[in-house]
Amino acid sequence: MPARAHGHVSNRQSDRDRVHLRLVARGLAAAIAAAAGGVNCSSDANGPSDSHVAVDAGADAADATPDGTTDQTDGPGNDAGPTQPRIIQVTTFAVDDVADGKCSLREAIAAATLLPSGNDDCPTGTGNDVIELGAGTYTASAGLEITGTVAIRGAGRDATTVSFAGLPSGCAVSIAQGSTDGASSVVISGLTLTQTTGTGAPMDVTGACVTAGRLRVRDARVTGFTAGGLAALAATGDDAVIEILKSMVDGNMNRGNGGGVAFTTPGSSIWIAESAIVNNTSSGMGGGVFASGGTNACYISNTTISGNHAWRGGGVAALIPSLTYLGLYWSTIVGNRASDTGGGLYLQAAGEAAHTLVVGDIVTDNVAAADATQGNLNADWTSDVLCTFSLLYAGGLARWPAATPAGSCMYDVADAKLGPLLDMGGANHLPLHPLLPGSPAIDAVDAANSIEPLEQRDTWNMGAGDPPLGTGPGQTPPWVVWGRGGDGDPLNDMGAYEFSPRWEVELLTVADVSASGHEVVADPTGWSHGAGTHLQARGPDEYVTYEVPVPEAGAYAISLRLRATSDSGKATLSIADNSTGSFVPLGASFDGYAPADDWRTVTVGTVAFAAAGKKAFRFTVTGNNEASSGYDLFLDDLEVTKQ
Give me the CATH number covering residue 514.
2.60.120.260
Residue 242 in this model has a pLDDT that exceeds 60: yes
pLDDT at 266: 85
Which range (48-62, 252-266, 380-394, 550-564) has the least confidence?
48-62
Would you place residue 180 in the very low, low, confident or very high pLDDT band (cuts 50, 70, 90)? low
Instruction: Note whether residue 497 is domain-resident.
Output: no
Pair 426, 512 in one domain: no
Q: Which long-range contacts (CB under 8 A, 24 or more apart) does 77-84 make?
A: 81/56, 81/57, 81/183, 82/128, 82/183, 83/126, 83/127, 83/128, 84/126, 84/128
Instruction: Note whether residue 29 is domain-resident.
Output: no
Residue 15 in this model has a pLDDT that exceeds 60: no
Residue 576: Cβ within 10 Å count? 16
Would you place residue 480 in the very low, low, confident or very high pLDDT band (cuts 50, 70, 90)? very low
pLDDT at 331: 94
Q: For the whole model, what pTM was predicted?
A: 0.83
Rounded Cα distance, 112 and 121, in Å = 12
Residue 11 in this model has a pLDDT that exceeds 60: no
Report the mean per-residue pLDDT for the chain: 80
pLDDT at 30: 34
Would you place residue 99 in the very low, low, confident or very high pLDDT band (cuts 50, 70, 90)? confident
Pair 427, 292 in one domain: yes
pLDDT at 243: 93
Residue 620, CA atoms < 13 Å, CB-side half-sphere: 15
Pair 181, 324 in one domain: yes
Last residue within a domain, chosen from 412, 432, 452: 432
Last residue within a domain, chosen from 395, 411, 432: 432
Report whether 491 contacts 443 (CB < 8 A): yes
State whether residue 30 is helix, strand or coil: helix
Would you place residue 312 in the very low, low, confident or very high pLDDT band (cuts 50, 70, 90)? very high
pLDDT digits (tens, 9 = 90+) for 155-173: 999 999 999 998 888 999 9
Rounded Cα distance, 177 and 209, in Å = 12
Would you place residue 297 in the very low, low, confident or very high pLDDT band (cuts 50, 70, 90)? low
Residue 69 in this model has a pLDDT that exceeds 70: no
For residue 235, the Cα-to-chain-centroid distance in whole angstroms is: 28
Across the strands, what pairs with 604?
Answer: none
pLDDT above 70: percentage of residues in the chain? 76
Pair 276, 175 in one domain: yes
**Mean predicted confidence (pLDDT) in 28-40:** 31
Residue 470 in this model has a pLDDT that exceeds 70: no
Residue 33 in this model has a pLDDT that exceeds 80: no
Across the strands, what pairs with 513?
Answer: 544
Pair 314, 422 in one domain: yes
Pair 136, 229 in one domain: yes
Instruction: Note whether residue 34 is domain-resident.
Output: no
Task: Specify the higher pLDDT residue, 482 or 371.
Answer: 371
**Mean predicted confidence (pLDDT) in 299-319:** 95
Residue 179 in this model has a pLDDT that exceeds 80: no
Last residue within a domain, chosen from 401, 416, 432: 432
Pair 150, 281 in one domain: yes
pLDDT at 486: 52
pLDDT at 114: 75
Instruction: Note whether residue 283 is domain-resident.
Output: yes
Nearest to 258 by CA among 240, 283, 233: 283
What CATH number does the domain containing 400 carry?
2.160.20
Pair 547, 410 in one domain: no
Would you place residue 578 in the very low, low, confident or very high pLDDT band (cuts 50, 70, 90)? confident
Pair 507, 428 in one domain: no
Please state whether beta strands 391-392 and 230-232 pair in parallel, antiparallel, or not at all (unpaired).
unpaired
Residue 521 in this model has a pLDDT that exceeds 70: yes
pLDDT at 5: 25
Residue 120 in this model has a pLDDT that exceeds 90: no
Count of domains for the chain? 2
DSSP state letter for 436: P
Residue 175 in this model has a pLDDT that exceeds 80: yes
Residue 341 in this model has a pLDDT that exceeds 50: yes
Which range (220-234, 477-491, 621-635) has the least confidence?
477-491
Would you place residue 152 in the very low, low, confident or very high pLDDT band (cuts 50, 70, 90)? very high
**Mean predicted confidence (pLDDT) in 187-211:** 86
Pair 407, 554 in one domain: no
Amino acid at 183: A
pLDDT digits (tens, 9 = 90+) for 602-613: 999 999 999 999
Instruction: Note whether residue 461 is domain-resident.
Output: no
Would you place residue 467 in the very low, low, confident or very high pLDDT band (cuts 50, 70, 90)? low
Rounded Cα distance, 188 and 133, in Å = 11
Amino acid at 615: K
Instruction: Note whether residue 484 is domain-resident.
Output: no
pLDDT digits (tens, 9 = 90+) for 401-459: 999 888 999 999 999 999 999 988 766 789 999 999 999 999 888 765 544 445 665 55
Pair 404, 522 in one domain: no
Sequence-distant (6+) residues with CB within 8 A of 301 are: 1, 51, 272, 273, 274, 327, 328, 329, 330, 331
Residue 56 in this model has a pLDDT that exceeds 70: no
Residue 48 in this model has a pLDDT that exceeds 50: no
Report whether 245 contacts 52 (CB < 8 A): yes
pLDDT at 513: 94
pLDDT at 492: 82
Instruction: Note whether residue 44 is domain-resident.
Output: no
pLDDT at 553: 96
Residue 132 in this model has a pLDDT that exceeds 90: yes
pLDDT at 126: 83
The residue range of the domain holding 121 is 60-432
Residue 528 in this model has a pLDDT that exceeds 90: no
Rounded Cα distance, 472 and 153, in Å = 13
Instruction: Note whether residue 473 is domain-resident.
Output: no
Pair 225, 312 in one domain: yes
Which range (46-55, 453-462, 491-500) has the least confidence?
46-55
Angle (deg, nearest 10), helices 29-36 and 14-26:
170
Q: φ, ψ for residue 306 (rounded to 5)? A: -150, 150
pLDDT at 362: 97
